[in-house]
Chains A and B, each alone.
Chain A
């Protein structure tokens, strides 16, 4: 039993050492340009910026424009959440606030309830 355990431990240790050695000794693959191949032209900083910064920004602008321009053209609100609501009557007189009757006084027989959310 103990001999079996010692063998297993030895195999485990050998495997660990092999994996660690591989990880430590690993290096990025590199190779010289083969003879006869043309040298790749260098990339200047402006081209690199345009490719990695300018292009993504341009794409983001185009996507945002596709999202917001149609509702703006239709005259809809693009504010997040609910925009300002115009007064809506369902089943009531279409009067403006200036044409309304007076509010209830102390003798009112009206009832009801109030709520906030």
Chain B
């Protein structure tokens, strides 16, 4: 683990795998930013989210270990499936893991929880998706 890098190579690989599986399951783009937030953490997180390629279809998780802050931003399209209450549950889970010092594990479980809730419901009566 290099200086300043919060993840070991195995943790990073596990996170990449969790994000890949999450994206396959719920068709949303997942991004994780770990670092210092500049100014208000929520405003900084929405700036990060708006800088993504497709913000409306993206979920951003921002963690500032120094400020002990975690922010999850969901795009407008993702929000149709993933409610803010469901995001709160994932954030609470991540908070517990982060407080216990498990940054990588908390992120991995948080991503999995978010993906679980963001899976689109099956279309009814033969309706086509989109």
Contacts and interface: CB of A to CB of B under 8 A. Distances in A.
Interface residues of B, number: 63
Contacts of A87: 33-36
B33 A88 contact: yes
Contacts, number: 149
A48 B23 CA distance: 70
Tell me the interface secondary structure of chain A in the complex: loop
B42 to A, nearest CB: 6
Interface residues on A, range: 20 to 34
Given A91-B29, A112-B71, A116-B69, A104 B50 contact: yes
A28 to B, nearest CB: 53
A41 interface: no
A74 to B, nearest CB: 8
Interface stretch (A12-20, A29-37, A52-60, A75-83): A75-83
13 contacts: A82-B6, A85-B36, A88-B6, A88-B32, A91-B32, A95-B51, A100-B44, A110-B75, A111-B83, A111-B84, A112-B74, A114-B70, A115-B92
Interface of A: 74-77, 82-93, 95, 97, 99-104, 108-117
